[in-house]
Amino acid sequence: MKKLFTFMASCLMVLSAGAQNSVTLTFEDSQYQQNNPDVAGYWTSRIDTPQYGGELLYGENHGDTAAVYTNANYRWYDNNGTQLYSELPENYGFHMFWGGGHAISNYWNGNINEGDYMHQLSVYVPDNASSGQGGHGHNGSDNFCVHFGYMDGSAYNGTENLPFVTFRDGVARYIDSMWINNTTYNVNCMLRGNTLTEPISKDDVLYIEATGYDGNSLMYQKIFSLLKDDLTPITDWTKWNWNSDDENYPVTKVDFNIKSTVDNGYGFSLPAYFAYDDVTVRTPVAAARTAKAVRKIEAAEGEKYIEIKLSGQDENYKPVPLYGIPTGDVPEGLAIEVESDGTMPSQLGKNETRKVKITGLPEGTIITRLAAKVGTMSTAMGAGRMKAFIDGEEVGQIAWCASNMKGVTNDYGQKVGTADDLEFDFYEDAVTTCNESVEFFAENVSIEEKPVLTQTVNLRRYYIFYTNGETTGITELNKANNSGAELYTLQGLRVVAPVKGQVYVKNGKKVIF
């Protein structure tokens, strides 16, 4: 019994309000000067030379280990624009780029033979053996930003603070999207390796993990693979849409990490770089919260539905314990109880579990179907399992895993993408009359063969499809066949031309035709 999802276009106020409060950080001098008329060439002034060992990123000793270290006071700030700010994090006791950070650049290089740390700030340009500066940011712009730094938990990596961006005025905002590309150093090592690392193999993963915070409260984690679907390096500017996972929260800070299965015995061994450009930021506005798109699920005749999403924020965008928000045909007195190890509403982290218990349905309610919208943070990693219970009795379960998961032997369930719908199918002898509760229990599955693939999974929505018990005294629902007794509507009218997917009465039992 399939349901059709339709959307009514009544959210124009949301879109217009969002557009009026969105701004994109391009790292271009012209944009900065437009907002700061007395300052010219700001972003270009933050580009170091040479790419490795320059004074801006490595201090006055230029990275000379024989000299006394001096902190590099490198930072940038898009004041009067997005309000995004970044500085070199303190690692190993100093603020130096060899400890990680976000550096402005306009370097580009298509000569893969120059893919080394001396050219660390160069974005890769395929099919071009030259190198230079300017013209190869996103959309042919000049400037962009290069991330360097990682934390893998190994004994050989002493990173304490990850590279980050933050909103310096302290106002929580949405990051809607950014554009990502690989550096020449990355691509060279991914394809050919070097003395420190093996190249990427068909079973490896390499991805960015962005962790968003509102103050000290963890709000979400988002993942972007630095590999294409064919497991070759990304070599073109690719959009990372942070709104695509349906749950995006305003944050005050985002940490960035790079993770991979490539390990030389001393930890992560590939270059920990990526380039990014055109970061779109949106400020929450009160008007946008008052207008909502109306979402309907077209159910079978006589059938109702409840859609449940979770939230972890109050009306002022402040973190609170997770709670359920029901929409649809919600009966009076419905209650939703949430028990969760994690705090991110639409996501479940490593080894975390979550229970969503719904009570207050009218006594004798007949559950016709349960469904959940789940997925993985990336098509390359993550697995989950969810069970459904009616009045404490398990009636079905689903298991899902990343669509590109390879190199594992266990059955981790149906392969999905980042935001797929998976449905519970009742067993034939399942109890369908609900007198007390409906329960969804989910867990993040630990992948023993490759623990690095045990990553955050998505839990976006929960659905209950039901009919009121008082309509008939019939409490069983089965699959109809096309022979035998006549079919009747729930109101007792004989059906001459039954419609596929509708709920009818046959031989005193409810059936789905």
Both tokens assigned to 130: 């030259």
Q: How confident is the model at residue 511 (pLDDT cuts 50, 70, 90)?
A: low
Helices (H), 91-229: 184-192
Residue type, 253: K
> Is the distance from CB of 442 to CB of 348 less than 8 angstroms?
yes
> Is the distance from CB of 94 to CB of 78 less than 8 angstroms?
no
User: Is beta strand 107-109 parallel, antiparallel or unpaired with respect to 123-124?
Assistant: parallel
> For 324-348, what is the mean pLDDT?
93
- pLDDT of 18 reads 36
- pLDDT of 4 reads 32
Of the candidates 106, 117, 99, the residue with the CA atom closest to the CA atom of residue 28 = 106
Please give the Cα distance from 471 to 433 (Å, whole number). 13
Asked which of 82-96, 154-168, 238-252, 485-499 is least confident by mean pLDDT, the reply is: 485-499
Q: Per mean pLDDT, which of 15-24, 360-369, 419-428 is the most reliable?
A: 360-369
Q: What secondary structure does DSSP assign to 438-464, as a single string?
A: EEEEEEEPP-SS-GGG---EEEEEEEE
User: Is beta strand 414-416 parallel, antiparallel or unpaired with respect to 393-402?
Assistant: parallel
**What is the pTM for the complete model shown?**
0.78
Tens digits of per-residue pLDDT, 30-61?
999 988 888 899 999 999 999 999 999 998 87
Tens digits of per-residue pLDDT, 55-92?
999 988 766 767 777 788 899 999 989 999 999 999 98
- pLDDT of 2 reads 32
The DSSP 8-state label assigned to residue 227 in this structure reads B
- For the chain, report the end-to-end CA distance as a whole number of angstroms: 8
- Cross-strand partners of 104: 47, 145
Tens digits of per-residue pLDDT, 107-122?
999 999 999 999 999 9
pLDDT at 512 over 80: no
Question: If you average pLDDT over every residue of the chain, what do you get?
Answer: 84
> For 7-24, what is the mean pLDDT?
44
Tens digits of per-residue pLDDT, 468-509?
754 333 334 344 444 456 666 655 556 666 766 566 666 555
The DSSP 8-state label assigned to residue 104 in this structure reads E
Is the bond into 331 cis (omega within 30 degrees of 0)?
no
- pLDDT of 406 reads 75
> Is the distance from CB of 207 to CB of 238 less than 8 angstroms?
no
Please give the Cα distance from 262 to 231 (Å, whole number). 13
- pLDDT of 294 reads 30
360: left (phi over 0), alpha (psi -120 to 50) or beta: left
Please give the Cα distance from 108 to 115 (Å, whole number). 11
- Other CB atoms within 10 A of residue 228 CB: 12
Tens digits of per-residue pLDDT, 457-476?
999 899 998 887 543 333 34
Please give the Cα distance from 162 to 153 (Å, whole number). 12
Tens digits of per-residue pLDDT, 288-329?
333 222 334 466 677 888 999 999 988 777 889 999 999 999
For residues 462-499, b (16+ Cβ closer than 10 Å) or e, as one string?
bbbbbbbbeebebeebeebeeeeeebbebeeeebeebe
| Cβ-proximal residues to 253 (8 Å cutoff; 6+ apart), any chain | 164, 165, 166, 167, 212, 213
Whole-number percent of the chain with pLDDT over 90: 55
For residues 307-346, b (16+ Cβ closer than 10 Å) or e, as one string?
bbbbebbeeeeebeebebebbbbbeeebebebebebbbbb
Q: What secondary structure does DSSP assign to 130-152, as a single string?
A: -EEESS-SGGG-S-EEEEE----
- pLDDT of 423 reads 79
Asked which of 161-170, 241-250, 262-271, 350-359 is least confident by mean pLDDT, the reply is: 241-250
| Cβ-proximal residues to 496 (8 Å cutoff; 6+ apart), any chain | none
- pLDDT of 417 reads 78
Q: How confident is the model at residue 352 (pLDDT cuts 50, 70, 90)?
A: very high
**SS3 state at 351:** coil
- C-alpha dist (Å) from residue 359 to 324, 388, 466: 12, 14, 14
- pLDDT of 30 reads 94
Of the candidates 180, 168, 30, 157, the residue with the CA atom closest to the CA atom of residue 92 = 157
Please give the Cα distance from 192 to 443 (Å, whole number). 38
In the block, residue with structure tokens 């390796």 = 193
> For 161-171, what is the mean pLDDT?
95
> For 356-374, what is the mean pLDDT?
89
> For 160-171, what is the mean pLDDT?
95
Q: How confident is the model at residue 159 (pLDDT cuts 50, 70, 90)?
A: very high
> For 225-250, what is the mean pLDDT?
89
